[in-house]
Amino acid sequence: MKVLVIEDNEELAQNITSYLTREGYICELATNYFQAIDKLKSFKYDCIALDILLPDGNGLDILTHIKSEKIDSGVLIISAKNSLDDKVNGLELGADDYLTKPFHLPELNARLKAIYRRKYLQGAYEIRFNEIYIHTDNMEVSVNGNMLDLTRKEYALLLYFLTNQNRVLTRQTIAEHLWGDYTDNLLNFDFVYQHVKNLRKKIVQADGKDYIETVYGLGYKLNTNK
């Protein structure tokens, strides 16, 4: 899952991103209003953790932007304790959940996962694709009843394919989704080959079928009809 953390307190922001990364998220950070808007224009995120109090603007304006631009991301508002107004306004503006500071990182994790479930999986804990099951909670994948031992990147890649079935994904898109803004000034996305190859191999080994179709000159597609 790809997350944008919008938080101006550098130390907290660093804690959050490194924690979420360890927990398997693809995590990007914006430390002010403009940077946030900028990133939202350029990239697509599954969830956004949004601090209300920013040095150069109000987080709720970012939320308004998200909604008016019809950006389809889950939004978790983070704000100071007992700031009830923010809570009410935030939820009214269409935020998915609310978390008060100070909070504990696992709580953030749990809420993000819950938003993801509600928003993208209709509340389910797992995604199915033919005989492939992904248990999003502990990042477990089983194929035909056998556990698949995937690395972090392979898992992220599979999840990305499964939430974009039958859609062609270019290497660049994949790179952006799995590696975030690190890919900003890259010209070469060869490393995607590696992970596609590894993922393919493991799935074929377990299921005998290669659902990942190469679309020559474009990218890859998870093919339902195989």
Partner DNA sequence: CAAATCCTTAAGATAAGCTTAATAAGAGGC
Partner DNA sequence: GCCTCTTATTAAGCTTATCTTAAGGATTTG
Reported as type and span, the H/E element at residue 129 is strand 126-129
**Choices 54-62, 113-121, 122-130, 134-142; region in contact with a copy of itself by CB under 8 A:** 134-142
Helix (H, G, I), strand (E, B) or coil at 198: helix
Residue 103's binding partner among a copy of itself, DNA, none (Cβ under 5 to 8 angstroms by kind) is a copy of itself
| Residue with Cβ nearer a copy of itself (120 or 220) | 220
Instruction: Tell me how far apart the alpha carbons of residues 184 and 136 are, in angstroms, rounded to a whole number.
Output: 28
Q: How far is the CB of 131 from DNA (least distance, A)?
A: 22
Which residues lie near DNA (CB under 7 A)?
21-22, 149, 151-154, 171, 179, 188, 190-191, 193-197, 200, 214-219
> By CB under 8 A, is residue 172 in contact with a copy of itself?
yes
Phi and psi (nearest 5°) for 211?
Answer: -75, -20
Among 152, 198, 200, 209, indicate the residue that binds a copy of itself (CB under 8 A).
152
Q: How far is residue 127's CA from residue 42's CA, in Å, rounded to a whole number? A: 27
Tokens encoding 106: 């696992």
Residue 58: CB atoms within 10 A of its CB come to 14
- CB under 5 to 8 A by kind: which of a copy of itself, DNA, none does 107 bind? a copy of itself
Looking at 139, 162, 200, 204, which residue binds a copy of itself (CB under 8 A)?
139
Q: Measured from the CB of residue 197, what is the shortest distance to a copy of itself in angstroms?
A: 19
| Residue 159 · residue 153 · CB < 8 Å | no
User: How far is residue 85's CA from residue 24's CA, in Å, rounded to a whole number?
Assistant: 33
Packing angle of the helix pair 152-162, 171-179 (nearest 10 deg): 120
139 interface partner picked from DNA, a copy of itself, none, CB below 5 to 8 A per type: a copy of itself
Residue 83 binds which of DNA, a copy of itself, none (CB < 5-8 A, kind-dependent): none
Return the number of the residue (72 or 184) whose C-beta is nearest a copy of itself.
184
- Asked if 221 and 168 touch (Cβ cutoff 8 Å), the reply is yes
The overall longest dimension of the chain from CA atoms, in Å, is 55
Contact residues for a copy of itself, defined by CB under 8 A: 15, 18-19, 22-24, 41-43, 103-107, 138-140, 151-152, 167-168, 170, 172-173, 176, 184, 187, 216-218, 221
